[in-house]
Structure 1
C-alpha cells in the first residue's frame, strides 16, 4: 500500500472511530482518485477526489472531536491577547 493510500485509509479509520459506524469504506479509482461510501456496494458519498481533498472531506464528516488544549496553549493565548492592540 502506498503512502497516499495509507493517509486516506487513516482518515477513514478515524471517521469510523468518531462516528461509531464501522461500515465506511474507501475506494480508489484507476486514475488514482478516492471515493468514500457507507459500505461496500453502497453509492459513493462524494465525487472522485484527489488525496488532499479526500482527506479534508472525510475529516469533515461525522462528529468532530474537540481540540485538546494544554495549559501552555492557554497561557500562550493569554500572551497573544495582551499584545493585541
Structure 2
C-alpha cells in the first residue's frame, strides 16, 4: 500500500506538470529500486537521474510555468491582521 501512495504522489505531480505546460507526453518511470524518473515521452531518455520520491516531486514541481497563487482582498486583510497581532509592542 505504501508503494501505491508513493506512486500516486509522484504521478499527481506529473499530472500537474502536464496541466501547467499543456504537454501531455510527460511520462514517469519507477525503477526496480523504488526511484522515479521523468521523460518527455514514453521510451525517451529521462530528464533526470533516478530520484527519491521527495526529490522527484520537487524536480517536477520546478519544471514549466509556475501557477500564480491567487490572493483575494480578504487574504490581504487577513495577512495585515496577522502582522499587527504578532508585532511586539
Structure-1-length-normalised TM-score: 0.88
Q: Out of 6, 9, 13, which is 2:8 matched to?
A: 6
SS of the equivalent of 2:29 reads strand
In structure 2, the gaps of 5 or more residues are: none
In structure 2, the residue matched to 1:71 is 73
1:1-85 aligned at under 5 Å gives the runs 2-82=4-84, 84=87
Number of matched pairs? 85
Greater than 6 Å deviation, 4+ residue runs: none
In structure 1, the gaps of 5 or more residues are: none
Structure-2-length-normalised TM-score: 0.85
Q: In terms of Rg, which structure is larger?
A: 2
Q: What is the CA distance between 1:24 and its match in structure 2?
A: 0.1
- Between 24-33 and 75-84, the greater mean CA deviation after superposition: 75-84
